[in-house]
Amino acid sequence: MTADLANELRNAGFRGEILREEPLAGHTTWRIGGPAEALATPVDREDLALAVRFAAEGGRPWRVLGNGSNLLVRDGGVRGIVVRPRRALAEVRVDRCRIEAGAGAALPAVASLAAERGLAGLEFAAGIPGTIGGAVVTNAGWHEHEIAAVVESVEFLEPGGSVRRIPSGECGFGYRRSALRGLPGIVLGAALVLRQDDPAAVRERLGAFAASRRGSQPTDFPSCGSVFRNPPGDFAGRLIDRAGLKGLRVGDIEVSRRHANFLVNLGRGSARDVLALVEIVEREVRDRFGVELVREFELW
Ligand SMILES: Cc1cc2nc3c(=O)[nH]c(=O)nc-3n(C[C@H](O)[C@H](O)[C@H](O)COP(=O)(O)OP(=O)(O)OC[C@H]3O[C@@H](n4cnc5c(N)ncnc54)[C@H](O)[C@@H]3O)c2cc1C
């Protein structure tokens, strides 16, 4: 029962905002998704830990929402608590070549701050609209660059309340994945170690990454970025384009005419439309090229 869950969380001492039956369409970059039974935004780390402990101890379903830029939320929404740690974990500290970034900080903002300080290694992140938490969990990257290359360690909150530092080597980073995704708990932040460089050169590279993205990706309609992982030695977008699927549409979801690995929301697209189009694309690419595309977004 919606009101009960929100009330129980409040009665347990949660101080932050709790929105009942909040449509997640407003919290995802695809602008799609039904309601969260309770969307909880903690005010600080203690509040965050309380929400997670409350959910875990009561055996209630719970999830973590970053910027919702790698998610497809079903039209029926999700039960349980969706914790949004953005505000509670927004702090970023720079100490010479080292950046301690809270999981709620915006990845592009951290990349810009690094550039201002002449710190190299995060330029690829210009235009990846995730949080540090989401970026670490998904090992966000662009071509041969990925965040794993600059992560020294990750600070991780376990549901019971203990906090541990996980060294980069134990995070299980791979192409757009990490072992952190399967762990119960929340990434509180990451220590990133960058390289000192000329600030003007770093800024220039940051601008070049942003420009190359603007030149190749659709930025005028909501999306989740790339829908499929690139298969080994190839590009999902090239295969979808070669299959003649650009412009194919289900409801208000369209295979972008600009970049075939983007399924854009033309306005009133639903999760059902996205999944129907995804299945068509998968089938066509399998039938024509014998390649099984793997989905990059997470389905809630
Ligand atoms: C226009 C566009 C372009 C994009 N380009 C790229 C690109 O070039 N490269 C790329 O890799 N991605 C790209 N993406 C996808 C997306 O931005 C990244 O995957 C990003 O890292 C997701 O971060 P998020 O905060 O939005 O995570 P969300 O989508 O909110 O969540 C993703 C997963 O991370 C988990 N999570 C989030 N925060 C935490 C936390 N603090 N602790 C534990 N788990 C957490 C969630 O529970 C979920 O499992 C693009 C997306 C868009 C819309």
How far apart, in whole angstroms, are the C-alpha atoms of residue 168 and residue 187? 13
Could you tell me what percent of the chain has a pLDDT over 70? 99
Question: Torsion over CA of 255, 256, 262 and 267, rounded to 10 degrees?
Answer: -80
Host H or E run for residue 71: strand 71-72
Q: What are the beta bridge partners of residue 40? A: 18, 83
pLDDT given at position 70: 97
Query: 37-46, pLDDT tens digit by residue?
Result: 999 999 999 9
Per-residue pLDDT for 3 more than 60?
no
Region 59-84: mean pLDDT is: 97
Per DSSP, which regions of 145-252 are E strands? 145-146, 151-157, 163-167, 186-193, 195-196, 249-250
pLDDT, tens only, 125-145 = 998 999 999 999 999 999 889
Beta bridge partners of 102: 189
What residue owns the CA closest to ligand 1's atom 4? 225
The whole-number average pLDDT for the span 170-194 is 95
Pairing of strands 17-23, 98-102: unpaired
The residue whose CA has the least distance to atom 33 of ligand 1 is 134
Average pLDDT of the chain is 95
Cα–Cα dist 300/298, whole Å: 7
Residue boundaries of the structural domains of the chain: 2-83, 92-215, 236-299
Average pLDDT for 291-296 = 97
Active site residue ranges: 176, 226, 296
Calculate the dihedral angle through the C-alpha atoms of 163, 166, 172, 177, rounding to the nearest 10 degrees: 60
Write phi, then psi, for 20 (nearest 5 degrees).
Answer: -90, 140
Report d(CA 282, CA 112) in Å as an integer: 36
Q: If one looks up domain 236-299 in CATH, what number appears?
A: 3.90.78.10
Q: Which atom of ligand 1 is nearest to the CA of 139?
A: 11
Q: Helix, strand or coil for residue 219? A: coil
Could you tell me which of 247, 236, 251 has the C-alpha nearest to residue 282? 236
Tell me the average pLDDT across 228-243. Answer: 96
Res. 175: pLDDT tops 80: yes
Per-residue model confidence as pLDDT tens digits over 74-109: 999 999 999 999 999 999 999 999 999 999 999 999
Average pLDDT of span 37-63: 95
In one letter, which amino acid is 104?
G
Q: What is the CATH number of domain 92-215?
A: 3.30.465.10
* CA 64/CA 62 separation, integer angstroms: 7
Q: Which residue from 27, 63, 69 has its CB within 8 A of the most atoms of ligand 1, so it is best to mutate?
A: 69
CATH of 2-83, one of 3.40.50.300, 2.60.40.420, 3.90.1150.10, 3.30.43.10: 3.30.43.10
Ligand 1 center to residue 4 CA distance, Å?
A: 30
pLDDT of residue 2: 45
Angle at 180 between CA 80 and CA 188, to 5 degrees: 75
Residue 1: which pLDDT band, with cuts at 50, 70 and 90?
A: very low
